């Protein structure tokens, strides 16, 4: 069974459109030690309590006057209480009462919640609205007081109380079931079932219910834990069966009256309640983890792969082959603004690290704009972020150097990194809407950035001055009504404006280098052009250098002086922009250009590169592009391909560049 259930967390039903049959859930429980232990414990307790009359060593009511308040001993394994009654026997008999109460509540819960949840989710419309309203109200009912009322009315009948408890608790489960049904309902095979002609009830029972079972089990086990707490609490108060009949809660109550003389009695009674509650609770956690884990593997993988460039998969670091040219590279170029040499980045823990960026070297000079181009998964964003030392916790730089105006910055402690972030190198992220804190106004956020830059330079800027500067910055990025916009929250402005604000934040510290990670990808086409214009004018006016991370050749052509093409963690080609467009000297660059929508000839089908970027753990020893390359030969896979110099200030990581060149022109030479 490869499908898993989506379960509701506090935020609501997860959108994982996968489900698990009950058998799968049980299998998942049995596989984890904790789940197995809980299940075994619960099984033992339930069975032992159920057959208490046959296995209890003593009559629970028999008062042994010779053994009053004794600790554990051979005759009484858990000792005796102050009336000389055997504690173990009382626990066994009392358990039948307490667990019976839990069972009652759970059964009522299921009988009420499952059909109503299915109904609300499946019928939708007015039925759903009515049920949801009722649930909203039911959720706010003070449960314990109602239970007390029930106990008053039904003359301390605990069964009645637990039935009501199940009833009141069902609103939570109805929500869970409804949420799951809603997400399952949208799926194709439900439509298929409808086409086959199954009725709604049949579909619900046959298709929807099995896939909701994981979520139901999670909820039920947590509910069982809570109801045991409530049941024992009520018996503790003496509101259930009257003494001398044994109950778990009542035994805590008895123990409480003699804590001075015999504190031991609190241990078995409290212990059995605590461990049983814990077992129910942990069981719920295990099922939740198991089901959400599998939902993740089923549906989340592609998303993860896309976002992180498929870096989550692991490959032993030892197996990574270092680029043969590493030793031949020249040292950092101190004339450059930014000089990156042999940058290598790995994700994951030491013993299972996967290299995701391999031996990347490049320079950026003052005022120039360099495009870092490649498909998703090529490692370009990771490269850009590691320059700033902003990799997420899982990623770290494992080799190479990053130097800014001749000073090494890659190994600096976090405090020192703050000295150059924003004031030397600044960042513009891909998605402007999430790049701003939703809880603060635009003006506040910009002012904060302004003030922290000042603090870094040991200057003080008053709130009012920072505020004024914020408005100036908003003006500088050409947003109309800067005063008004400053008072707005991120959700009140458009995506294009948000990106302008992000740019304003980035230029607040007068940086020399701007790293722009796909700055226009999330925006409308018309807005894209405006943002690019803004970047260009900033570059011209303030002499800022830009490292533009993008997969869009149009953007590169529009803005950049040079291009760095990345593929599967490596730089595969670097050249002046005009020459790249005229004559790409790496098969990947060529294929990318051919696939680019901006260069496609109208009316002709758009060429796409067959295949996809290999995941880091699948990188071959030889050329990373070999699997998709139409010029590939056996030599390409034999050994790592170094970056080869091809003509003036150009390099390509390909041994067959001659294939790409018009007859008899440049021949690749010297290793670089």
Partner 1 sequence: MTQLILRRLLMSIPLLLVVSLVVFVLGSLVPGDPAQTILGVDATPDAVAALRDKLGLDQPWYAQYFHWLSGVFHGDLGTSLYSGEPVVTTLAERLPVTLSLVSLSTLFCMVVGIGFGMLSAVRGGFLGRVVDTLSLAGLALPNFWVAVVLVTLFAVKLRVFPATGYTPLMTSPFYWIVGLVLPVCALSLAGIATIAKQTRSAVLDVLDRDYVRTFRASGVSEWSVLLKHALRNASIPVASVIGIHAIASLDATVFVENVFVLPGMGSLATQATLDHDLPVIEGVALYFTVIVIVVNLCVDIAYGLLNPKVRTA
Task: Tell which residue, 623, 549, 580, has the closest CA to residue 321.
Answer: 623
626 binds, among ligand SF4, partner 1, none (CB under 5 to 8 A by kind): ligand SF4
Which of the choices ligand SF4, partner 1, none does residue 260 contact, using the CB cut-off of 5 to 8 A by kind?
partner 1
**45 vs 40: CA distance, rounded Å:** 9
Nearer to partner 1, 255 or 641 (CB): 255
Beta carbon of residue 357, minimum distance to ligand SF4 (angstroms, whole number): 18
Taking the C-alpha atoms of residue 548 and residue 557, their distance in angstroms, rounded to an integer, is: 11
Q: Which is nearer to partner 1, 420 or 567 (CB)?
A: 420
Q: How far is the CB of 637 from ligand SF4 (least distance, A)?
A: 7
* Cβ proximity of 190 and 184 under 8 Å: yes
Least distance in angstroms from the C-beta of 421 to partner 1: 4
Residue in this structure with the two tokens 């033992």, named with its chain if needed? 44
Q: How far is the CB of 102 from partner 1 (least distance, A)?
A: 13
Picked from partner 1, ligand SF4, none, the partner binding residue 591 (CB below 5 to 8 A depending on kind) is none
Q: Between 465 and 637, name the residue whose CB sits nearer to ligand SF4.
A: 637
**33-50 vs 87-123: helix crossing angle, rounded to 10:** 120
- Please report which helix (H) or strand (E) contains residue 597, including its range: none
Q: Convert 417-444 to b/e letters by CB count within 10 Å (16 or more is b).
A: bbebbbbbbbbbbbbbeebbeeeebbbb
Closer of 285 and 658 to partner 1 (Cβ): 285
Q: Is 267 or 637 the residue whose CB approaches partner 1 more closely?
A: 267
3-state secondary structure of 361: strand
Burial of 31 (0-12, 13-18, 19+ CB in 10 A): exposed
Between 207 and 451, CB nearer to partner 1: 451
Q: Which does 577 bind (CB under 5 to 8 A by kind): ligand SF4, partner 1, none?
A: none
Residue 24 or 622 with smaller CB distance to ligand SF4: 622
User: Which CB, 81 or 375, lies closer to ligand SF4?
Assistant: 375
State the Cα–Cα distance between residues 590 and 580, nearest whole angstrom.
9
Distances (CA, A) of 509 to 141, 388, 413, 513: 54, 15, 20, 11
Which residues, at least 6 apart from 346, have a Cβ–Cβ distance to it below 8 Å? 317, 353, 354, 355, 356, 395, 396, 398
Number of H helices, E strands in the chain: 24, 15
Which partner from the list partner 1, ligand SF4, none does 423 bind, CB cut-off 5 to 8 Å by kind?
partner 1
Work out what residue 636 binds among ligand SF4, partner 1, none; the CB cut-off runs from 5 to 8 Å by kind: ligand SF4
CB of 622 to partner 1, least distance (A): 35
Residue 388 binding: pick among ligand SF4, partner 1, none (C-beta 5-8 Å cut-off by kind): partner 1
* Least distance CB 407 / partner 1 (angstroms): 16
Q: Binding residues for ligand SF4, per CB under 6 A? A: 587, 623, 625-626, 629, 631-632, 636, 641, 654-656
Among ligand SF4, partner 1, none, what does residue 237 contact (CB within 5–8 Å per kind)?
Answer: partner 1
Residue 437 Cβ, how far from partner 1 at the closest point, in Å? Answer: 5
**Entry field: residues in the chain:** 672
* β-pairing verdict for 545-550 and 369-373: parallel
Q: Find the shortest distance in angstroms from Cβ 590 to ligand SF4.
A: 9
Q: State the sign of the Cα–Cα–Cα–Cα dihedral 510, 516, 521, 522.
A: negative
Decide which of ligand SF4, partner 1, none touches 458; Cβ closer than 5 to 8 Å per partner kind: none
Choice between 222 and 585, CB closer to ligand SF4: 585
Token pair listed for 461: 């800027």
Minimum CB separation from partner 1 for residue 6, in Å? 18
Q: How far is the CB of 172 from ligand SF4 (least distance, A)?
A: 58
Task: Identify what 641 binds: partner 1, ligand SF4, none; CB under 5 to 8 Å per kind.
Answer: ligand SF4
Q: Of 473 and 534, which CB lies nearer to partner 1 in the complex structure? A: 473
DSSP letter string over 557-587? HHH-SEEEEEETTEEEEEEEHHHHHH---SH
Q: Sign (positive/negative) of CA torsion 59, 64, 69, 70? A: negative
């Amino acid at each position: 069974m490869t499908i898993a259930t989506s379960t509701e967390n506090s935020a609501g039903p997860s959108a994982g459109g996968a489900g698990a049959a009950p058998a799968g859930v049980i299998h998942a429980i049995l596989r984890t030690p904790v789940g197995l232990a809980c299940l075994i414990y619960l099984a033992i307790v339930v069975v032992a309590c159920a057959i208490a009359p046959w296995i209890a060593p003593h009559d629970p009511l028999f008062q042994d006057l010779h053994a009053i308040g004794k600790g554990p001993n051979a005759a009484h394994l858990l000792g005796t209480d102050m009336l000389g009654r055997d504690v173990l026997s009382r626990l066994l008999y009392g358990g039948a009462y307490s667990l019976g109460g839990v069972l009652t509540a759970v059964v009522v819960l299921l009988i009420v919640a499952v059909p109503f949840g299915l109904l609300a989710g499946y019928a939708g419309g007015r039925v759903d609205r009515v049920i949801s309203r009722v649930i909203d109200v039911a959720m706010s009912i003070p449960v314990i007081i109602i239970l007390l009322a029930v106990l008053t009315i039904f003359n301390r009948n605990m069964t009645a109380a637990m039935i009501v408890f199940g009833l009141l608790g069902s609103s939570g489960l109805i929500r869970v079931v409804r949420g799951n049904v809603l997400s399952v309902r949208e799926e194709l095979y439900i439509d298929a079932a409808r086409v086959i002609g199954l009725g709604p009830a049949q579909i619900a029972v046959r298709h929807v219910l099995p896939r909701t079972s994981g979520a139901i089990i999670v909820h039920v086990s947590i509910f069982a834990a809570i109801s045991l707490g409530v049941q024992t609490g009520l018996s503790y108060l003496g509101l259930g069966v009257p003494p001398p009949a044994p109950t778990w809660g009542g035994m805590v109550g008895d123990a409480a009256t003699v804590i001075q003389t015999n504190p031991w009695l609190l241990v078995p009674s409290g212990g059995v309640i605590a461990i049983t509650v814990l077992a129910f609770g942990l069981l719920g956690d295990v099922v939740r983890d198991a089901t959400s884990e599998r939902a993740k593997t089923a549906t989340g993988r592609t998303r993860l792969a896309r976002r992180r460039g498929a870096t989550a998969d692991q490959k032993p670091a030892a197996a990574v082959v270092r680029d043969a040219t590493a030793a031949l590279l020249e040292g950092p170029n101190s004339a450059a603004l930014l000089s990156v040499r042999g940058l290598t980045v790995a994700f994951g823990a030491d013993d299972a690290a996967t290299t995701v960026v391999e031996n990347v070297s490049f320079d950026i000079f003052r005022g120039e704009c360099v495009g870092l181009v490649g498909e998703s998964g090529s490692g370009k964003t990771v490269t850009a972020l590691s320059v700033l030392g902003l990799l997420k916790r899982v990623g770290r730089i494992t080799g190479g150097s990053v130097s800014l105006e001749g000073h090494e910055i890659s190994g600096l402690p976090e405090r020192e990194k703050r000295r150059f972030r924003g004031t030397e190198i600044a960042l513009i992220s891909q998605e402007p809407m999430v790049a701003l804190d939703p809880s603060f106004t635009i003006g506040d956020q910009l002012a904060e950035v302004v003030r922290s830059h000042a603090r870094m330079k040991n200057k003080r800027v008053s709130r009012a001055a920072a505020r004024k500067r914020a408005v100036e910055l908003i003006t500088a990025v050409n947003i109309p009504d800067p005063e008004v916009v400053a008072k707005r929250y991120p959700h009140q402005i458009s995506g294009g404006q948000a990106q302008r604000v992000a740019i304003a934040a980035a230029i607040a510290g007068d940086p020399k280098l701007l790293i722009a990670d796909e700055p226009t990808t999330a925006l409308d086409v018309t807005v894209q052009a405006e943002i690019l214009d803004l970047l260009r004018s900033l570059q011209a006016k303030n002499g800022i250098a830009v490292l533009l991370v993008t997969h869009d050749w149009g953007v590169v052509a529009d803005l950049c002086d040079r291009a760095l093409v990345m593929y599967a963690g490596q730089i595969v080609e670097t050249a002046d922009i005009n020459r790249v467009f005229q004559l790409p000297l790496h098969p990947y660059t060529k294929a990318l250009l051919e696939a680019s929508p901006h260069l496609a000839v109208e009316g002709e089908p758009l060429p796409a590169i067959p295949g996809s970027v290999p995941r880091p753990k699948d990188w071959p020893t030889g050329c990373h592009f070999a699997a998709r390359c139409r010029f590939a030969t056996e030599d390409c896979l034999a050994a790592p391909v170094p970056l080869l110099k091809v003509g003036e200030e150009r390099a390509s990581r390909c041994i067959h560049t001659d294939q790409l060149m018009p007859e008899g022109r440049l021949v690749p030479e010297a290793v670089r």
